Chain A
Amino acid sequence: MEKKNDMPINYYIFLSIALFSIGIVGVLTRRNAIIIFMCVELMLNAVNLMLVAFSKMHYKAALLAGDVNGTAGTDGQLFVFFIMVVAAAEVTVGLAIIVMMYRNIHSVDVNFLNRLKH
């Protein structure tokens, strides 16, 4: 097991935190509902990247502990798969709501939606 092929887990943590924070800044600074929705997707992807990196970290730890043909860390990647499934379902319903909102008030500006009535 040569060391040169591995990346420190810290780098992945910081990259994911950066992407997640960019998503949060997007949600806070934009008024277009579609862009806000896209920033939520960006945050989901940051978490996915983190889960995959942790899964490979656990796999390496299990290998070093002597578990040669083990499958430690598989759960993390399957969680990412399920997050993608839920995100796809979420996007269909969310975009349907946004299209409906556009049909009623002819805008995607979230500032028009702060009263729950019109």
Chain B
Amino acid sequence: MNITQILFWFLSVVAIFSALMVITSKNPVYSVLWLIVTFFSISGHYILLNAQFLAIVNIIVYAGAIMVLFLFVIMLMNLNNETEPQKHRWLKMAGAVAGGCLLLVMVAALKDTDIKNQQAMVNEGTIGLIKNLGKELFTTYVVPFEISSILFLSAMVGAVVIGKKE
């Protein structure tokens, strides 16, 4: 077992454990903090796959901007253990069984596919670096890139219009 495999298993365990803590924490603030841990471990996976641009973007955009927004809204509403609405015990169990069934079906369907002998290249390969991604983004994908700026503009206007007091 070399260092790459050790890191893979460590990051996987951290990701799944913190994802479970997100949905089991009673306090919404703890949920947000555990979700940040999940995003950092997913970024670790990106670095392991040598997708360094996406790893940094994931940390800056998700763990940095989006999660701060969530934390800000939760603290603005002053949510905590007492105000947290709880579903009935049987409904929770039904939800867990439904999700478990999905997990079971997907794993059973995909464990014997043709793809199982394929390998994902770890630690090397230059396609995840900024040089290659930037070249591709500003040549082949330049139209979607510009359209996404319009999407951002409309999202910004939409957020302001929705949030405005009338």
Binding site for B on A (CB under 8 A): 3-15, 17-19, 21-26, 28-32, 34-35, 37-39, 41-42, 45, 48-49, 52-57, 59-61, 63, 71-75, 77-78, 80-82, 84-93, 95-100, 102, 107-109, 111
Contacts and interface: CB of A to CB of B under 8 A. Distances in A.
A49 B48 CA distance: 11
Nearest to A80: B54
18 contacts: A5-B123, A8-B116, A13-B110, A19-B19, A21-B100, A24-B102, A25-B96, A29-B23, A48-B42, A52-B45, A56-B51, A87-B62, A88-B65, A92-B155, A92-B158, A99-B163, A107-B85, A108-B79
A101 to B, nearest CB: 10
Interface string B119-134: 1111111011000110
Contacts of A37: 70
Consensus secondary structure, chain A interface: helix
B98 A38 contact: no
Q: How large is the interface on B (under 10, 10 to 19, 20 to 34, 35 or more residues)?
A: 35 or more
A10 B151 contact: no
B127 A73 contact: yes
Given A25-B96, A92-B159, A53 B57 contact: no
Contacts of A54: 120
B127 A55 contact: yes
A76 to B, nearest CB: 9
A88 B66 contact: yes
Interface string B57-89: 110011001100110011011010000111100
A78 B127 CA distance: 10
Contacts of B103: 17-18, 21
